[in-house]
Amino acid sequence: MSREDDLALLKSYTDSESLVKHMLAVEAACRAYARKFGEDEAKWGTVGLLHDFDYQRWPDPPDHPLRGAEILKEHGYPDDVIYAIKSHADYLPDCPRVSNLDKTLYACDELCGFITACALVRPQRLEGLTASSVKKKLKQLSFAASIHREDITRGAADLGVDLDEHIRFCIAALQPIAAELGLLTTE
């Protein structure tokens, strides 16, 4: 499958602009980690890009991500891609996160959403955003309240990376696509 195929599938199930931007952000972070770990960047990008493609139609567990997994299988996606996507759901006990790919998706998912939320309330958006300012916002439970903070800390720990380093890494991964994400400076 090509990235164009991935995008076509994503857009056939998702018309929410914010959800598409979220998946693009997670794709960028997963691709960056693939480069860091010497892994298949295209495969890791596919996992990041398609991890929530079914969410708009089937947001309730376990439909998400199981409905999406069925669709991916029908489209011929590899088993490890499908497994990694299923493993990002904590409520699927038969899909523990085992591989670096599984752990990377989980580690990047909530954090990319939180970084985006942090950037959106700053005039400079993503530019100059620091790990310390993200961590400060993590302590404000009323800010981006739907984002599970424990998933962010658990994800970094499971991936074996320091939380500050992980935040900085993900911010850097999003910077090249800031325009696509609507995170360019507004001044």
Examine the pLDDT at 187 and tell me if it is beyond 60.
no
The tens digit of pLDDT for each residue in 123-179 reads: 999 999 999 999 999 999 999 999 999 999 999 999 999 999 999 999 999 999 999
- Give the end-to-end CA distance of the chain in Å, rounded to a whole number: 40
Cβ partners under 8 Å of residue 144, min gap 6: 113, 114, 117, 118, 137
Tell me the domain boundaries of the chain: 3-181
pTM, whole model, 2 decimals? 0.97
The per-residue pLDDT for 1 is 81
The per-residue pLDDT for 179 is 96
Place of tokens 């310390």: 132
The per-residue pLDDT for 185 is 84
Examine the pLDDT at 30 and tell me if it is beyond 60.
yes
Computed over every residue of the chain, the mean pLDDT equals 96
CATH architecture of 3-181: Orthogonal Bundle (1.10)
Examine the pLDDT at 27 and tell me if it is beyond 70.
yes
Examine the pLDDT at 79 and tell me if it is beyond 70.
yes
Neighbour tally for 30: CB within 10 Å? 30
Examine the pLDDT at 37 and tell me if it is beyond 80.
yes
The tens digit of pLDDT for each residue in 80-91 reads: 999 999 999 999
- At residue 164, the 3 state secondary structure works out as helix
86-99: average pLDDT:
94
Cβ burial of 146 (10 Å; 0-12, 13-18, 19+) is exposed
- Per-residue pLDDT band at 186 (split at 50, 70, 90): low
Both tokens assigned to 30: 């997963």
* C-alpha dist (Å) from residue 155 to 18, 32, 91, 94, 169: 22, 16, 15, 18, 14
